[in-house]
């Protein structure tokens, strides 16, 4: 089938951008024709172009008429829905608060999908019924993230795996103090710590304990690291066999991080480190979050959406001027940021630095 994937940008190996990259590569491996439409083609987009994947920022540059549109981000979805009026859409929400992930109403959207139950709740708060939203969880790529050959009985090395945490933040200081008390060395990888890492699969096997969330957390557990759900938004729990299904319901993410990141609370979780529990968690993730298994589910959704569309069946939520106006109004900031990044990258980065200094942001 001809598949069009949308995203706001393709700049770096994080978030929906990495999701799009891995999805496109595996769909192509399965014999599908895949193209990607974004507003800004960044470094990651150029890498995919070098792999002969057609990544465009103008719909007129697409080579094929899609049979199905896999849509991320409402602004981009709005454009493709208007351009391809005879193509069914499956619409994904990856973030429960971003203005770009506010549900978009259109009759061609045959299936609304959330990556966890926190995102599903966002739909329910916007007049969707329970049975109108399907949850398809996040994944890890087993071709990249291999199980460690040995899991230590005692944690000796810890890693902060986050694109958001900075070394001068209070959160980093609390984590460092907790690790020092337990004689655990600490390292970081991520954009804002000054140590960006495009191949975390080459790093994770070195560590016993990881502080991360969402996809980064899933990848850590797949390798055989103990995961404490933690990031700039707060502290969650050490993932164990007793709580892993509940943690997965919320994508090992924001919904779980309901405690402040303080040394004593960190120590409570870190002392739960247990080799047997880590092995059980790893086995669960290897079986349930394997991306071959998840992409099987996505393909089934594509097929179902196309079959319904051929029968002249449409989605339950028709285009709404009020919905569209709301999306446009709340997305002015990311639109401006995307425009600056595309045409004036130096101005974009300098403006962001100034904004963060003025408002003393800690993310």
How does residue 332 score in pLDDT terms, banded at 50, 70 and 90?
confident
3-state secondary structure string, the chain?
Answer: CEEEEEEEEECCCCHHHHHHHHHHHHHHHCCCEEEEEEEEECHHHHHHHHCCCEEECCHHHCCCCCCEEEEECHHHHHHHHHHCCCCCEEEEECCCCCHHHCCCCCCCEEEEEECCHHHHHHHHCCCCCHHHEEECCCCECCCCCCCCCCCCCCCCEEEEECCCCCCCCHHHHHHHHHHHHCCCEEEEEECCCCECCCCHHHCHHHCCEEEECHHHHHHHHHHCCEEEEEECCEEEEECCCCCHHHHHHCCCCHHHCCECCCHHHHHHHHCCCCHHHHHHHHHHHHHHCEHHHHHHHHHHHHHHHHHHHHCCCCCCCCCCHHHHHHHHHHCHHHHHHHHHHHHCHHHHHHHHHHHHHHHCCCC
pTM of the model: 0.88
Instruction: State the pLDDT confidence band at 361, using cuts at 50, 70 and 90.
Output: very low
Tell me what the mean pLDDT of segment 213-221 comes to: 96
Section 230-251 average pLDDT: 96
Q: Range with the lowest mean pLDDT among 284-298, 314-328, 338-352?
A: 338-352
Q: Tell me, what's the pLDDT at 363?
A: 36
Q: How far apart are CA 268 and CA 75, in angstroms?
A: 43
Please name each of the domains of the chain with its CATH number: 2-137+291-330 (3.40.50.2000), 157-288 (3.40.50)
Q: What is the pLDDT of residues 145-162, one digit of tens each?
A: 999 999 999 999 999 999
Residue 343 pLDDT exceeds 70: no
Residues 199-210 have a mean pLDDT of: 96
pLDDT over 90 (residue 341) = no
pLDDT of the residue at 359: 46
pLDDT greater than 60 at residue 205 = yes
pLDDT over threshold 70, residue 243:
yes
Distance CA 93, CA 104 (A): 10
pLDDT in tens, 98-142: 999 999 999 999 999 999 999 999 999 999 999 999 999 999 999
pLDDT band at 329 (very low <50, low <70, confident <90, very high): confident
**Mean pLDDT across 183-198:** 92
Task: Give me the mean pLDDT over the 27-55 stretch.
Answer: 96
**Environment class of residue 96 by beta-carbon count within 10 Å: exposed (0-12), middle (13-18) or buried (19+)?**
buried
Long-range Cβ contact pairs of 264-268 (< 8 A, separation 24 or more): 265/235, 266/174, 266/175, 266/178, 266/228, 266/230, 266/235, 267/178, 267/181, 267/182
């Amino acid at each position: 089938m001809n598949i069009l994937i949308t995203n706001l940008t393709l700049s770096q190996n994080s978030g929906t951008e990495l999701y799009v990259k891995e999805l496109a590569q595996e769909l192509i491996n399965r014999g599908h024709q895949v193209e990607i439409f974004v507003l800004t083609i960044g470094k990651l987009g150029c890498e995919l172009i070098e792999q002969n994947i057609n990544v465009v920022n103008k719909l007129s540059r697409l080579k094929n008429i899609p049979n199905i549109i896999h849509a991320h981000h409402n602004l981009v979805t709005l454009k493709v829905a208007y351009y391809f009026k005879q193509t069914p859409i499956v619409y994904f929400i990856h973030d429960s608060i971003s203005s770009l992930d506010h549900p978009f109403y259109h009759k061609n959207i045959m299936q609304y999908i959330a990556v966890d139950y926190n995102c599903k709740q966002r739909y329910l708060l916007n007049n969707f019924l329970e049975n109108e939203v399907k949850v398809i969880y996040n994944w890890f790529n087993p071709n990249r993230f291999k199980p460690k050959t040995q899991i230590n009985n005692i944690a000796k090395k810890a890693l902060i795996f986050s694109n958001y945490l900075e070394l001068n933040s209070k959160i980093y200081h609390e984590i460092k103090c907790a690790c020092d008390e337990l004689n655990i060395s600490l390292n970081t990888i991520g954009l804002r710590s000054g140590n960006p890492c495009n191949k975390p699969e080459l790093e994770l096997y070195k560590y016993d304990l990881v502080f991360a969330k969402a996809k980064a957390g899933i990848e850590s557990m797949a390798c055989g690291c103990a995961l404490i759900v933690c990031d700039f938004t707060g502290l969650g729990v050490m993932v164990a066999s007793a709580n892993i299904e509940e943690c997965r319901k919320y994508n090992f993410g924001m919904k779980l991080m309901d405690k402040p990141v303080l040394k004593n609370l960190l120590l409570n979780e870190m002392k739960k480190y247990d080799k047997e529990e880590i092995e059980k968690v790893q086995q669960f993730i290897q079986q349930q979050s394997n991306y071959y298994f998840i992409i099987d589910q996505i393909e089934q959704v594509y097929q179902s959406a196309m079959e319904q569309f051929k029968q002249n069946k449409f989605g339950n939520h028709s285009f709404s001027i009020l919905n569209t106006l709301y999306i446009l109004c709340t997305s002015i900031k990311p639109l401006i940021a995307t425009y600056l990044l595309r045409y004036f990258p130096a101005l974009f980065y300098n403006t962001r630095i100034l904004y963060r200094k003025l408002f003393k942001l800690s993310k």
